[in-house]
Amino acid sequence: MAKKRKVSFEIDEILPYFDALEDPRSTINRLHPLVSVVVISLMAVLAGASGPTAIARWANMKEELLLKLLALPNGIPQKDVYRRVLSLLKPEAFQACFTAWLSSLRAKAAETGGVEQPILAVDGKTLRRSHDAKNGLGPLHSVGIWATELGLSLGQKATQEKSNEITAIPELLRQVDIRGAIITIDAMGTQTAIAKQIVDQGADYVLALKGNQESTLQEVSDQIDRMVENDFADVGARRYTTKEKGHGREEERLYVQLPAPTDLPALRRWAGLKTIGIAVSTCLRAGKHTTELRYYLSSLEMGVKNFARAVRGHWGIENSCHWTLDFTYREDESRIRDKHVRENFAWLNRFTLSLLKQHPDKNSIVMKRRSCGWSDHFLTQVVTGATV
């Protein structure tokens, strides 16, 4: 008969991260410590909970475990406690209490992966079913920062709607230590003020360029068109090509990077601009060819493989973050309607995804999450970062 593993009780290591979190509840009938409520919520989401009711049900089933791990002088909280805490906690304060924890995870992940200049992808996401038309509440749209190679969500900022990303991005960048990183942003966030802020904060940028910056796009596209005519001769261009097969398609990507011209008026507006580039994607699927061309502005020095890494890495926020949240966490189906609860829960989803990404088990996120529900030992491993 196999020997039963003991649960690893190292939860005390994470409790100090929440010391600075101010309890927003009234002191009257405050029966359960705030830290314990937050940690239970975190663990329940790891195990598959998708709302306060599910958190409470999971906690009741794990009473023996939780009483050993946490200070719970009045027993296991009921669902109204989780809902009240998540509705009263200001999302900015809630996220801020994770800063030190994220810093430790980030340093460890960078060391383990040997990443010297991480790619931090900035992009927006909408929870389509989180609207409440009766009370004038639109679906939650938030902008997040995802460390592609590290598998870490470093922050999020809610906006009223997608068009407000331009104002949300600067606030989000100020919340995160971006020094030494490469910030990648899709075309909506390609703004001169944002480029300057990134440089001022000690990072580099690779910004997608589309019609919202019409004069800059026109200058860059005209310049590249002229250079194409003589195959980029005498302009110091660098090229890099990748080919991939899989999922019923063949894809070839050509990356071209060249020094930013100094004589074009529109380009002078971009702080720190050093290079421009294009990415040409040619895909063959079911006998049909499609080609897509994208233009970029960048503060990176010449180095086409690094440029290609940043362009390719940006899509990590869609493929390994947003896609997982929608199809594993079923986030797009969430019907949480309370403004603060849904934003705080969205952060719990992103943070727990980060914890699951850090665990060295080679199984999928789906299987890791199931394992958190099945095994107390595996769950505490994920939470504490222990692997033995």
Residue where a domain terminates, one of 271, 293, 323: 323
User: pLDDT tens-digit profile of 319-332?
Assistant: 888 888 888 988 87
Q: Do residues 83 and 341 lie in contact, with contact meaning Cβ atoms separated by under 8 Å?
A: yes
Lowest mean pLDDT of 197-206, 236-245, 371-380, name the range.
236-245
* 3 found inside a domain: no
Q: Alpha-carbon distance 269 to 163, whole Å?
A: 23
Residue where a domain terminates, one of 273, 296, 323: 323
Structural domains counted in the chain: 2
Secondary-structure breakdown of the chain: helix, strand, coil percentages, each rounded to the nearest 5? 50, 20, 30
Lowest mean pLDDT of 37-41, 146-150, 225-229, name the range.
225-229
Phi-psi region of 303 (alpha: psi -120 to 50; beta: other; left: phi over 0): left
Q: Are residues 125 and 65 in the same domain?
A: no
Q: What per-residue confidence (pLDDT) applies to 265? A: 86
User: pLDDT tens-digit profile of 280-303?
Assistant: 999 888 778 889 999 999 999 999
pLDDT at 177 over 90: yes
Q: Are residues 218 and 239 in the same domain?
A: yes
Q: What per-residue confidence (pLDDT) applies to 261? A: 86
HEC secondary structure over 308-353: HHHHHHHCHHHHHHHHHHHHCCCHHHCCCCCHHHHHHHHHHHHHHH
Q: Do residues 179 and 258 lie in contact, with contact meaning Cβ atoms separated by under 8 Å?
A: no
Three-state DSSP class for residue 215: helix
**Residue 159 pLDDT level (bands cut at 50, 70, 90):** confident
Q: Which of 197, 127, 148 shows the shortest CA–CA distance to 343? A: 127
* CATH of residue 167: 3.90.350
Which residues on neighbouring strands pair with residue 11, listed in sequence order? none
Q: Do residues 349 and 331 lie in contact, with contact meaning Cβ atoms separated by under 8 Å?
A: yes
Q: Are residues 132 and 106 in the same domain?
A: yes
Q: Are residues 40 and 146 in the same domain?
A: no
Q: What is the mean pLDDT of residues 153-171?
A: 83
User: pLDDT tens-digit profile of 238-252?
Assistant: 899 999 887 778 889
Q: Are residues 77 and 104 in the same domain?
A: no
- Max avg pLDDT among 186-190, 195-199, 278-282, 314-318: 195-199
Q: Are residues 299 and 355 in the same domain?
A: no
Q: What is the mean pLDDT of residues 136-144?
A: 74
pLDDT at 7 over 90: no
Lowest mean pLDDT of 197-211, 218-232, 294-308, name the range.
218-232
* 15 found inside a domain: yes
Which residues lie closer than 8 Å to 13 by C-beta, 6 or more apart?
384
Q: Are residues 265 and 360 in the same domain?
A: no
Give the chain's mean pLDDT.
88
Full DSSP string of 75-141: -SPPHHHHHHHHHHS-HHHHHHTTHHHHHHHHHHHHHHHT-SS-EEEEEEEEETT--BGGGTBPPEE
Domain range for residue 42? 11-88+338-384
Q: What per-residue confidence (pLDDT) applies to 161? A: 62
Q: Which of 345, 362, 368 shows the shortest CA–CA distance to 82? A: 345
Q: Are residues 70 and 219 in the same domain?
A: no
Helix (H), strand (E) at residue 255:
strand 249-259
* 5 found inside a domain: no
User: Structure tokens of 308?
Assistant: 């290609």
Q: What is the Rg, in whole angstroms, of the alpha carbon atoms belonging to the chain? A: 23
Q: Are residues 189 and 45 in the same domain?
A: no
Q: Alpha-carbon distance 19 to 374, whole Å?
A: 30
As a whole number of Å, the end-to-end CA separation of the chain is 21
Q: Are residues 351 and 204 in the same domain?
A: no
* 354 found inside a domain: yes
Q: Are residues 48 and 123 in the same domain?
A: no
Residue where a domain terminates, one of 276, 296, 323: 323
**Residue 2 pLDDT level (bands cut at 50, 70, 90):** very low
Q: Alpha-carbon distance 190 to 205, whole Å?
A: 10
pLDDT at 4 over 50: no
Cα angle at 20 between 17 and 25, to 5 degrees? 115
Q: What is the mean pLDDT of residues 233-239?
A: 79
Q: Do residues 204 and 198 lie in contact, with contact meaning Cβ atoms separated by under 8 Å?
A: yes
What percent of the chain shows pLDDT beyond 70? 91
Q: Are residues 203 and 308 in the same domain?
A: yes
